[in-house]
Structure 1
Amino acid sequence: MTTSTPASALTVADLARYIDHTLLKPEATQADVAALIAEAVELGVYSVCVSPSMLPLTIPVDADLKVAVVCGFPSGKHASSIKAAEAALAVSQGTDEVDMVIDIGAAKAGRFDLVEADISAVRAEIPAPLILKVIIESAALTDDEIVGACRAAVAAGADFVKTSTGFHPAGGATVHAVRLMAATVAGAARVKASGGVRSHADALAMIDAGASRLGVSGSRAVLSGAPVEPSANPAAY
């Protein structure tokens, strides 16, 4: 979302529509996912984001809640054909959005042609209006590599570029990375900040830097600092 309204003016309801309420722990159970969905409905977030083995999900019929799933997660070192098959299966099981991980090593080597081809293979299995988000693992990249990865994602038809898996030892989202990614895609795609967004202040900083979606596991804590009064701000999605 592009708006002149400062992020600090977003109400709880406004801010909730930025959030992909996320559960990607390897030990997560179906009961954990059911609890995630219930909390997501209660909080009014935009989507839930889960591992592919958790699909299909049972979403209440009256809930305004999207389903996102990760692909090639968390290393990105899967063959493109495997990522594409994983995305196709997720689509057949009712996902609305796919968050794929690039081959980070290809980006580190400057092989952005391979990064683009990898993303294109997944994009081919995700027909519009379904959404493709591309995780570039920004904390593991230099600024030039971030720019190259974002340009490859846009060229391959991604809807979002996303900072992080939240599993890499280099860290998660930073304001600097989000700002650089937003400047690079320049409206041709949107930016999702994920990994380390744990507080209301974190969320506002990422939005002010250019993020229009947030990957958050502790959504209740992030929303707790927002005002509750109605706002004229449009939804983030």
Structure 2
Amino acid sequence: MTAQVLPLVLVGPVAPLGSGGPPSGIDKRPVPGPWRITATGLVGDAQADLRYHGGPEKALHQYPRDHYAAWASEIGDHPLLSAPGAFGENLATTAWTERDVCIGDIARFGSALLQVSQGRQPCFKLDRRFERTGMALAVQRTGRTGWYWRVLEAGIAEPGDRIELRARPRPDWSLARLIHLLYVDTRNRSELQVASALPELAESWRLLLCRRLRTGAVEDWSKRVAGGERGPEA
């Protein structure tokens, strides 16, 4: 992977998702810098349901624009794919994907210091946003989820600042490997044991993997991707 990428920065308020839809902050739009980054994300950004969105382990969502062409080939020329922000990302970039980024990666963005904490677990609001049943499940199935950063040091980023990789403590644990374990190779005990012990991984994901090891059961994520109350994997 390249050591740095130049992001487009996006934020959004909470608003109804479609006509009569649930409140959501998924509609992110580019904003001019400078950008102030706190422990819970970009100043000016918002999330509707803080039980499952936002917070210190999901302070910033990054999504690769590299995936947009694949989505267009699969779902057609959807108007949301004409510009960054289709997936509610705060940081739209090229050159980094889930195969290039690892759990625990530390990066500098302006004066802020960030660390990759987890991948995204897509929810039914993507179906509402794209007006397409099964979109959230498709994001999960393809592994094109994007990822979250926690903020180790708050700071300010200016236009032209790049996200610069500074440290990679877990080079063997790409996001792609973790996503494969979470949704495909779900009962691989040796992988579960190693991943559940990664201190850089978000606590909710470590608890999820430990629960699998303890019970032998895989979570029911149908409610998360189809709507209604979130399941225990949230």
Normalised by the size of structure 1, how large is the TM-score? 0.31
With normalisation by structure 2, the TM-score equals 0.31
- Structure with bigger helix share is 1
